[in-house]
Copies of this chain bind each other. A is one copy, B any other.
Amino acid sequence: MILDATDKRILAELSANSRQSMRELAKKVNLSAPSVTERVRKMESEGIINGYTISIDYGKMGYGVDCFMEVTLRQGEYEKFRRIIAVNPNAEFCYRIAGRACYIVKLRVKALQDLETFINEITGYAETVTHIALSKVEIEKSLLDEK
């Protein structure tokens, strides 16, 4: 599916506030409500809009430490690692990567002790390189701003 500028504006508006009504949204993109609704439904069925969700500030919930961990599996125990990471609630995401390591994981923990627990859990068959996040750099431009 090829998106035009209006579709992208719709996505940008819904990214900023997914709870607004189709009417409000229609006003913002200078279209009628039924027309906007049709475009949104189309993007939903195409899977471009993957879902309506919220942004949660985990820091305010006490998870004060974010970190990135590169994980390299020693004896190729990929399945073992996948099973463990899939049920780790501290994991925000995990990707299989090409590059220096096997996986890159983002973790959110309350204290460094939780990080230690996790590293100890996998250290028998995995090597880890951990980067603690110090601050976030805000990105101003989005792919939805493009042409």
Contact = CB atoms under 8 A, between A and B. Distances in A.
Given A48-B61, A97-B132, A97-B134, A16 B141 contact: no
B136 A94 contact: yes
Contacts of A146: 89
B55 A51 contact: yes
- Interface range, A side: 35 or more
A95 B66 contact: yes
A12 B96 CA distance: 26
State the copy count for this chain. 2
Contacts of A135: 95-96
B48 A56 contact: yes
B52 A17 contact: yes
Contacts of A119: none
A46 interface: yes
Interface in A30-48: 46-48
A34 to B, nearest CB: 18
